[in-house]
Amino acid sequence: MILRYDRLGVEIPSGDPDPAGAAAVQELMGGRFGEMSTLMNYTMQSFSFRGRKELRPFYDLIANIAAEEYGHIEAVGATITTMLTGASARDVVAQGSPAHALKAGKGVLPVDSGGTPWTGDYVFSSGDLVENLTHNYFLETGARNGKLKVYETVDHPAARALTGYLIVRGGVHQVAYARALELLTGANLTKAFPMPRIPTRKIPECRPHLERGSHFTLYRFTPEDYKEVVAVFKGEHPETGEELRVAHPAPEGFAWPEAPSEEDVFAPDYAPDEIAEIAQRLRCEAGFDDLTVRRAA
Amino acid sequence: MILRYDRLGVEIPSGDPDPAGAAAVQELMGGRFGEMSTLMNYTMQSFSFRGRKELRPFYDLIANIAAEEYGHIEAVGATITTMLTGASARDVVAQGSPAHALKAGKGVLPVDSGGTPWTGDYVFSSGDLVENLTHNYFLETGARNGKLKVYETVDHPAARALTGYLIVRGGVHQVAYARALELLTGANLTKAFPMPRIPTRKIPECRPHLERGSHFTLYRFTPEDYKEVVAVFKGEHPETGEELRVAHPAPEGFAWPEAPSEEDVFAPDYAPDEIAEIAQRLRCEAGFDDLTVRRAA
Amino acid sequence: MILRYDRLGVEIPSGDPDPAGAAAVQELMGGRFGEMSTLMNYTMQSFSFRGRKELRPFYDLIANIAAEEYGHIEAVGATITTMLTGASARDVVAQGSPAHALKAGKGVLPVDSGGTPWTGDYVFSSGDLVENLTHNYFLETGARNGKLKVYETVDHPAARALTGYLIVRGGVHQVAYARALELLTGANLTKAFPMPRIPTRKIPECRPHLERGSHFTLYRFTPEDYKEVVAVFKGEHPETGEELRVAHPAPEGFAWPEAPSEEDVFAPDYAPDEIAEIAQRLRCEAGFDDLTVRRAA
Amino acid sequence: MILRYDRLGVEIPSGDPDPAGAAAVQELMGGRFGEMSTLMNYTMQSFSFRGRKELRPFYDLIANIAAEEYGHIEAVGATITTMLTGASARDVVAQGSPAHALKAGKGVLPVDSGGTPWTGDYVFSSGDLVENLTHNYFLETGARNGKLKVYETVDHPAARALTGYLIVRGGVHQVAYARALELLTGANLTKAFPMPRIPTRKIPECRPHLERGSHFTLYRFTPEDYKEVVAVFKGEHPETGEELRVAHPAPEGFAWPEAPSEEDVFAPDYAPDEIAEIAQRLRCEAGFDDLTVRRAA
Amino acid sequence: MILRYDRLGVEIPSGDPDPAGAAAVQELMGGRFGEMSTLMNYTMQSFSFRGRKELRPFYDLIANIAAEEYGHIEAVGATITTMLTGASARDVVAQGSPAHALKAGKGVLPVDSGGTPWTGDYVFSSGDLVENLTHNYFLETGARNGKLKVYETVDHPAARALTGYLIVRGGVHQVAYARALELLTGANLTKAFPMPRIPTRKIPECRPHLERGSHFTLYRFTPEDYKEVVAVFKGEHPETGEELRVAHPAPEGFAWPEAPSEEDVFAPDYAPDEIAEIAQRLRCEAGFDDLTVRRAA
Amino acid sequence: MILRYDRLGVEIPSGDPDPAGAAAVQELMGGRFGEMSTLMNYTMQSFSFRGRKELRPFYDLIANIAAEEYGHIEAVGATITTMLTGASARDVVAQGSPAHALKAGKGVLPVDSGGTPWTGDYVFSSGDLVENLTHNYFLETGARNGKLKVYETVDHPAARALTGYLIVRGGVHQVAYARALELLTGANLTKAFPMPRIPTRKIPECRPHLERGSHFTLYRFTPEDYKEVVAVFKGEHPETGEELRVAHPAPEGFAWPEAPSEEDVFAPDYAPDEIAEIAQRLRCEAGFDDLTVRRAA
């Protein structure tokens, strides 16, 4: 089970509407190597894990990384919604992805950059632990490639902030799976880092995360479980030589960006003030303060 | 972001291997009305929610129910893995779903009862709040239908325990969306309850949950957010007349069932003792106690 | 069985070629909420209807609306073909949907606005009448949303005439399913009308249809069956308070728009005059008048 | 537009429940060469037809055959629903197609024999008339193959009656497209008949249709359009040498088979008598006779 | 089994980058009528061929044409890679197909012009020889249509050279299947040639191939098998009256075009010189000459 | 381009009909890790290879392994066709895969064990050489898993012979990609061999291939190209320590198994003798000997 909290792992800045960019960022949501894939691969592998007791450190690793990935689909979702704010529905249809207007009301969808839906066929979960870890390493590698390419082809500050964050955090997972594999088999995949071969520190939007040590830190996204990850996530970081560490609790995070109403797609309504008024009444009845008053003040 | 904890919402009993039943239960994971769909619909709607500030109670409702749904895919996953434990790979291929052996190592996959993968196309998120709520009500209705049919066609005690639990919890979400819609528009969809028209109390595996009031309780699956759900989830339960309530924290839950190794599908390995030994060594190095010793004692 | 006649439910005006607009209108053909979906949902539900004798009014309603939907896919088809007339194949490939030139010869395809084919997975037919009606209501709601968005994002007069017509007619079906549900369960979904919340009368292309009462009229598209729809389609229209009525026969309709040859996509041929000549000869042999002569006269 | 009437082209006999057979018959509904494909190919080709005026006989042929195909999906639908009547939901899941119970309430779905949904990708409509006719000939050939194989592998009398009928009627369409092609190009595809090479008269369930001349008759399924088909559908039948003919109106048809309620899949309801009672009341209110009384008498 | 050699069937000229054109050419790779389809249809039919001994000439025909088709997917692949050389990744995302940058590193993918992947569902292989040949004839007809349309809508010299070549070679296969069908059944499909009805000689890029007689020559792509094709591929060419001939060995072919590194998509690497250096060292160790030296000289 | 020759890489023995086993073997054809995937991944990567000149040894490796994979799809195809020989169509539909009778005429299809078609989405080709090699290593690992599982779950001697062969040959490719990666990056993936961890020598059907050294030999499937593979495929075999070697030409291979006619699926015809007679006449006309005479003698 999970506890969800209303924060994002990265601050998403606003910018000019960018429907074409938003379509490209969809690759990071619903592409074969997008965050839906990392989330669902690790999630399903944790459901099918056999020998949980005997192999606890590896179970904890996979289950805990799954938890962080949920935060990543949130960050991608917030980015796309932000990039579509203020675009005209007409422009979205004409030059971006028609589904963003016709289906999604200027929000995110679980599809890739070509509009193809994410599919459960992207999940690999063979039950063989060494093979699953090999897969996960490869998946993170493809994911890094995708993030780097979106970084290079989309200018919007939200997309840049997002990819800077995801490159660093995905890098941690790439290290984690390579290290797990090394501990089980002796294969030193970390020799191949970085893969793709671009040094992370060259990317300006990655630097703030590097500076606070995010790249060598695995956060435990849990009230108090998954403690045995420390048995696997250890040793030197393959690029920097710094000692890997496990931290708990995870950083506090950032508020979700505002997503104002977009009436030409009826989001949240053709006449949003009417339902906002109902909502205010309900809030007051339930003892919450009246936003209308507060704003008027 | 989420915090994941290593517990299940329902206790999953063991039983005889049942590959054919496991294939049917997949409908509740990856079918159009399965738990992947409820999870991802509410999740994506929360990412694309416009007017979050003005419409907070409705945002909180959708975001919080999304959180519970993650626990539901866990419960379905644990059930399927349990039902496959002890089956011969040969039997799985011959009479059940070949993918459960050839692809999943006797674990769950994000596919439906016919083996078709779940797809992002199952997500509806138009941005129009009233329409999204209408969809969500309908989705829960289809989900209830699916759970009832799996209940009627599969005998395995894990499947029965699972569906008993999901029918009750899904019923809460069905009520929640109907009530939200009623508060916004006046449409009294609860008049149509139960839908399908089978009284929940007739189902033996539902009764323990009814007895503890689970059917009129919305749990807040969060450290401390989503407080404004109380502004919507209120009034009488449409079937029983009991007062709806919001509870926090959610119940503690149950341990995951054991999932022993299945060597004929190499899960977690063709020779699982070898990697278990490595894992023990790593655990000891990290300061955890030695399971081998404990068991020997 | 059906009798097809060579007329359209709405007059489709010509205009400048608009490949990008034609791609958007495809959403109304092959999208999840397009006319293929309404047609095939009601059609399949009528094939699987159990208790036809006892529940005749509801069977008649679904079977008869299915019949009207066939006319709707015709109208969408004629619109798209019209919007592509005169476009250069090169432009269609470059800025519109390549399939419209490479596959469809400047005609319609059963795909959505992103080029994804319509799929039978869009059909819901659970056998449970109340649930099917709930689904159908929701389907019409999603369809109304799609039509409104295409209306807002495409300027071509054919697209505007089409959506004006479909919004009104789909509205009738939305009312019909809501009323059926109300009669069976007491749930007053019509309280939520219009959904989306835009008053139909605000849309200029809807007004001619409103003026002739099309919005409160269910036509029986049948030689003489489906008479019992009157037992369900009755009472007040939820937006206007006018009395709902059932009419027979349906209006006569309009001629299909001309669709001249487009030689750069070999439609109907690279050298259309040659096959037209053969066709004329065959017509004369069969005793029909000679169009060549008539035109020369 | 169409007028639908509540009759079937063939009488569908009842028999023992046969879930496995029903799954096989689905190939004739949703397979690449099933009746959804013939219906939708000719339907879409009629929407995109360019040069309708000059090439009227060919347009009329395609548009009119499309109309008959709607009757064919009805016949397949009625057959599958009939074959599932009386089966236990448990058996449907265990040995037939789980979707028939879990999704379809013992009714038909637009999927093939493996449960894969029909897709709009099966529609070919290039705009080139000669090519479309070539395609249609090939499609009918594949369809004949499929019908013959279902005939050989399924024993249920409904499946046999259905395939006997479809083989004869599909044969007419195969002849029609071959003849159209011959008239336009001189290519004598009819030389290859029958294709597959099984003489139709060898199939007992085809014989009643042959005896009434159905195999050389094209019915005009229209109130009064598509008259110019006679300019194409003429000459000798390739197998029998009989003169081809066009008939109007089409035969009257048969009543749909009874489809009684199946409560274990909630079709039409978990407690069907309750909604039947409501329906009776509505019927009486609308001036129809009371079935309950009639039956009691 | 096959022997592959490092040559192309046609010379692919370079030109300006053309991402939009490259997207259109994908139709010839992964579309329903693309070269993946011709390759895989004939390949699979050869695997499932029954009565190979008795029907050897027809087996040889299908198996041998399959071999040529592998060369066709190569030619399409080389064309698309060439057309993407030098394009900025940003432009590829913005106006072409995002997958060409985000997924394929400016290379080809097995998808169609809309980005939809080729699927095994495009393979028809019923086992019935006459029917398979009918299908193959129709497939080549659809393929010719597609090539002609790409020719008309894309200007890049590589696309023109490719389509000129494929139109001629596909025409040979169209003739081959029509003739095979004629010999087995007497049906003279060649009467309908050319289909589509554009004379091949009107296309400038086809003429060099016509001049060397490529249009009436079936090459045996084999060391020494498939000799019995001569029993089928014979008689007059339907358009020109020239005698069909079988030739062996096939023409020598052309070198693959250069495909220089594209660093903004990390192909073959973000810093390609580093891995080129390793490759040179490995080459020298294995006794091959040092390209660096040679180039310096 | 390729030269195809009419031999198989492994001898396929006959056995009793086994439709259920044939369905499982389809996983090795059309599954995500089947031979279609290995063939098409390496094939497409060779088309998109950038820096072919500088990185020749790696290009040669990928292009040459692609060539061998074509032989693997042949072997899988021959196996499935053999396993279906003699089965009744009725049995194929009832207990195996309906498509094998209804679509494939007791032959192979490009689908997986659940009947889902292979898709181009299974191709990974990012352009980044190190990443492609990582993918290919992982792909061969998944493929080995699949082969081992089919070996364990299917008894038919053809399936056993096939998997014995493919496990050994796939193992060579797994080594090749691991070695290539090691030479470029230093990562010693071979430490993790075998993966899955079952020693190949334990499998009886692998032993004949091990005895002739097939497991440490890369064959050049080419008339005379791809010579530079020796620069990469070298060093010790990770499991046995034997020296890797490159051999040319590849072994001669084996005749395809007989595939007699199956009249209940019309393969090659409902009355195969009739077309066999035509074929004989054509053979004689072309100067080949008369099989009928030979057999009579």
The pLDDT tens digits for E86-120 are: 999 999 998 778 999 999 999 999 999 999 999 99
Give the pLDDT band of residue A294 (cuts 50, 70, 90): low
pLDDT averaged over every residue in chain D:
96
Strand partners, D206: none
Interfacial F residues in 241-280 facing D (CB < 8 Å): 264-266, 269-271, 274
Rounded to the nearest angstrom, the minimum Cα separation between C118 and chain E is 13
Give the pLDDT band of residue F210 (cuts 50, 70, 90): very high
- pLDDT tens digits, residue range B67-78? 999 999 999 999
Collect all residues with Cβ–Cβ distance below 8 Å to F88 and sequence separation of at least 6. F264
Secondary structure class of C113 (helix, strand, coil): coil
Average pLDDT over residues C131-144: 98
Does the beta-carbon distance from D47 to C125 stay under 8 Å?
no
State residue C67's pLDDT score.
98
Percentage of chain D exceeding pLDDT 90 = 95
The answer to whether the CB of E50 falls within 8 A of the CB of F263 is no
Exposure of D179 by Cβ count < 10 A (0-12 exposed, 13-18 middle, 19+ buried)? buried
Rounded to the nearest angstrom, the minimum Cα separation between D179 and chain B is 41
State residue C295's pLDDT score.
54
Secondary structure class of C71 (helix, strand, coil): helix
The answer to whether the CB of E122 falls within 8 A of the CB of E32 is yes
CA distances from B7 to A47, B70, B257, C237 (A): 12, 12, 10, 51
- pLDDT tens digits, residue range F24-34? 999 999 999 99
Interfacial E residues in 66-105 facing A (CB < 8 Å): 89-90, 92-94, 97-99, 101-103
In this prediction, the residues of chain E whose per-residue pLDDT falls under 70 are 292-297
- pLDDT tens digits, residue range D33-45? 999 999 999 999 9
Residue E148 sits at the chain C interface (C-beta within 8 Å): yes
State residue F69's pLDDT score.
98
Closest CA to D68 of D282, D248, D268, D280: D248
State residue B293's pLDDT score.
58
Collect all residues with Cβ–Cβ distance below 8 Å to A250 and sequence separation of at least 6. A68, A219, A220, A221, B1
pLDDT surpassing 90 at residue C87? yes
- pLDDT tens digits, residue range F40-85? 999 999 999 999 999 999 999 999 999 999 999 999 999 999 999 9
Give one word for D143, left, alpha or beta, with left for phi > 0 and alpha for psi -120 to 50: alpha
pLDDT surpassing 90 at residue C254? yes
State residue F97's pLDDT score.
86
State residue A290's pLDDT score.
75
* DSSP 8-state code for residue D238: T
pLDDT averaged over every residue in chain C:
96
pLDDT surpassing 90 at residue F289? no
Measured CA to CA, the distance from residue B101 to residue D9 in angstroms comes to: 45
Interfacial E residues in 116-135 facing D (CB < 8 Å): 121, 124, 126, 128, 130-131, 134-135
The answer to whether the CB of D64 falls within 8 A of the CB of D220 is yes
Which one of A140, A185, A198 would you mutate to disrupt binding with F, by most F Cβ within 10 Å of its Cβ? A185
State residue D294's pLDDT score.
53
Long-range contacts of C186-190 (CB under 8 A, 24+ apart): C186/B188, C186/B191, C186/B192, C187/B187, C187/B188, C187/B189, C187/B190, C187/B191, C187/B192, C188/B186, C188/B187, C188/B188, C188/B191, C189/B187, C189/B189, C189/C137, C190/B187, C190/C238
Measured CA to CA, the distance from residue B151 to residue B205 in angstroms comes to: 10
Collect all residues with Cβ–Cβ distance below 8 Å to F22 and sequence separation of at least 6. F80, F83, F84, F96, F97, F100, F156
Average pLDDT over residues B25-48: 98
Does the beta-carbon distance from E113 to C94 stay under 8 Å?
no
Give the pLDDT band of residue D295 (cuts 50, 70, 90): low
State residue E295's pLDDT score.
54
Chain A contact set for C114 (CB, 8 A):
97-99, 114-115
Does the beta-carbon distance from F138 to A134 stay under 8 Å?
yes
Please give the structure tokens belonging to residue E14.
């370079």
ipTM over 0.90: yes
Q: Compute CA E25 distance to the chain's CA centroid, rounded to the nearest angstrom.
A: 12
Give the pLDDT band of residue C294 (cuts 50, 70, 90): low
Average pLDDT over residues A103-132: 97
CA distances from F83 to A171, C60, E59, F24 (A): 47, 50, 20, 11
Average pLDDT over residues D104-133: 97
Average pLDDT over residues A142-158: 97
- pLDDT tens digits, residue range A222-270? 999 999 999 999 999 999 999 999 999 999 999 999 999 999 999 999 9
* DSSP 8-state code for residue A290: -
pLDDT surpassing 60 at residue D296? no
Taking every pair of C-alpha atoms in chain A, what is the biggest distance, in angstroms?
66
Percentage of chain A exceeding pLDDT 90 = 95
Percentage of chain C exceeding pLDDT 90 = 95
- pLDDT tens digits, residue range F132-149? 999 999 999 999 999 999
Which of D28-32, D132-136, F23-27, F191-195 shows the lowest per-residue confidence on average (mean pLDDT)? Answer: F191-195
Output the CA torsion sign for C272, C274, C276, C278: negative
State residue F294's pLDDT score.
53
Q: Which of F103, F123, F261 sits opposite E50 (nearest CB)?
A: F261
The answer to whether the CB of E254 falls within 8 A of the CB of E11 is yes
Does the beta-carbon distance from D23 to F98 stay under 8 Å?
yes
Please give the structure tokens belonging to residue C139.
């389907």
Does the beta-carbon distance from A153 to E99 stay under 8 Å?
no
Rounded to the nearest angstrom, the minimum Cα separation between B95 and chain F is 9
* Number of neighbours of residue A155 by Cβ within 10 angstroms: 13
CA distances from B135 to A279, B142, B177 (A): 20, 10, 9
* Number of neighbours of residue D46 by Cβ within 10 angstroms: 26
State residue B82's pLDDT score.
98
One-letter amino acid for residue D221 of the chain: F
The answer to whether the CB of A92 falls within 8 A of the CB of A84 is yes
pLDDT surpassing 90 at residue A95? no
- pLDDT tens digits, residue range C181-223? 999 999 999 999 999 999 999 999 999 999 999 999 999 999 9
Does the beta-carbon distance from A265 to C27 stay under 8 Å?
no
Rounded to the nearest angstrom, the minimum Cα separation between D19 and chain C is 15
Exposure of B102 by Cβ count < 10 A (0-12 exposed, 13-18 middle, 19+ buried)? buried
Strand partners, F8: F254
One-letter amino acid for residue A94 of the chain: A
Chain A contact set for B47 (CB, 8 A):
73-74, 77-78, 80-81, 107-108
State residue D240's pLDDT score.
94
One-letter amino acid for residue C186 of the chain: G
Chain A contact set for B270 (CB, 8 A):
128
Please give the structure tokens belonging to residue C266.
């070999």
Output the CA torsion sign for C261, C263, C266, C272: positive
Chain D contact set for E195 (CB, 8 A):
130-131, 134, 185
- pLDDT tens digits, residue range B49-60? 999 999 999 999
- pLDDT tens digits, residue range D155-190? 999 999 999 999 999 999 999 999 999 999 999 999
- pLDDT tens digits, residue range D226-268? 999 999 999 999 999 999 999 999 999 999 999 999 999 999 9
Does the beta-carbon distance from E89 to A152 stay under 8 Å?
yes
Give one word for E190, left, alpha or beta, with left for phi > 0 and alpha for psi -120 to 50: alpha
